[in-house]
Amino acid sequence: MAILDTAFHRASLATPHGDTKAERDRLRARLKVVRSCATVVRHLRLAARRFAPPGLTEFERALVAGAFGDETLDRSLRRLRRAEERIRDLSRDAEQSTRRASSSEELGDVVRACYGRLSSFVREVDPDIERLRSISEFLRHRPHLVPGAPTLVVAGFPNVGKSSLVGRLSSARPKVADYPFTTLSIAVGHADLGFDRLQVVDTPGVLGRAHRANLAEEEATTAVGQAATVVLFVIDPTGTSGYTLEEQEALLARWREEYPSLPIVDVETKSDLARRPTPRLRVSASTGEGLDELWSELRRRLRPTGELPPMQEATVEEEGAGELSDEGADAAAAEPPRRRSRRRD
């Protein structure tokens, strides 16, 4: 194992100074024990560094639980902490044994015994180290969502136009293709929401299969349930997605029942391809039809209570407050700019 190879190599480089051979042998044995144990502890900490305080957000923890199982992360972290404690005890006991050893043969026995137990501890937690690396890599490919920031989660069935709409609403540039499951994991873009920064989350398609969802569908559902301030549920009424209107509306109804306090805005997309009477908002990511009306509805739902007003409203408020009179404007223009005095030390 790479960790042990590194630890034993560092220990082998010990070159202590001493007046006698016996003194040098004793110091060399102590250095081998301390260096090998310290190197392993450092690598254990590096493996867990991604999860050190403040740790993961609740949304990230939910993503990890969905992909790797409940308690998997915490169990591996506990095992690494326990291994570190055992290695520290091993190092202390072995170092004391080197002080009591009376010959180079006994010192060699102490070092070999230490190496054996150290190897055993590392082998026990090696699966946990690999699991933490896998979780870190998984999170590296997921966007970090700022907790508490307004978050719009765009969701719905595959191939209904979610990613195209996200590209219209935010800075994101998602992959768009005319086949289902183009989006395999969540992605995030941003947009200005008045004085706020809006997080716009693109999600994989969800088929609405209870208890039979794949990992991508579970990730989308986690985003809806754990990250969303508002959900934009995209419905394709044209049938070009390969899913019926009834299937899509069944998922919408189920989510409204599962998340009764979560605002869900349902919108019909591809309005340039389908003209039909509907009480819903209709938009087209291709032509831009209906996007202004959609933004108005989203701003109404997303604007935080007590926050500063959006720029358009702030501009109207300033205009309503009145302008400078002609005399006041002339006086302001005539007043020469004040020069800053420079302080000389």
DSSP 18: -
Tell me if 50 sits within 8 A of 133, measured CB to CB.
no
Query: What pLDDT, on a 0 to 100 scale, did the predictor assign at position 210?
Result: 66
Q: How far apart are the first and last CA of the chain?
A: 63
List the domains of the chain with CATH numbers: 2-140 (1.20.120.1190), 151-302 (3.40.50.300)
pTM: 0.77
Is beta strand 151-156 parallel, antiparallel or unpaired with respect to 230-235? parallel
d(CA 185, CA 164): 15
Find the angle CA(80)-CA(86)-CA(92) to the nearest 5 degrees: 135
Query: What pLDDT, on a 0 to 100 scale, did the predictor assign at position 339?
Result: 44
What is the identity of the amino acid at 42?
A: R
Query: What pLDDT, on a 0 to 100 scale, did the predictor assign at position 172?
Result: 63
CA atoms within 13 A on the CB side of 311: 6
d(CA 190, CA 172): 7
d(CA 220, CA 208): 11
Query: What pLDDT, on a 0 to 100 scale, did the predictor assign at position 192?
Result: 85
Tell me if 241 sits within 8 A of 180, measured CB to CB.
yes
d(CA 289, CA 187): 24
Query: What pLDDT, on a 0 to 100 scale, did the predictor assign at position 331?
Result: 45
Give the tokens for residue 202: 């693109």
Give the tokens for residue 75: 């169990």
Tell me if 139 sits within 8 A of 208, measured CB to CB.
no
Query: What pLDDT, on a 0 to 100 scale, did the predictor assign at position 273?
Result: 80
d(CA 10, CA 50): 25
C-alpha distances out from residue 154 to 48, 157, 323, 333, Å: 33, 11, 42, 50
Query: What pLDDT, on a 0 to 100 scale, did the predictor assign at position 313?
Result: 52
> H or E stretch including 282?
strand 281-282
d(CA 48, CA 129): 8
Name all contacts of 335-340 with Cβ < 8 Å and 24+ positions apart: none
d(CA 99, CA 190): 62
pLDDT along the chain (345 residues), means of 10: 91 88 93 96 96 93 94 97 98 96 95 97 97 96 91 94 89 52 75 84 85 84 95 93 93 96 94 81 91 92 59 50 45 44 42
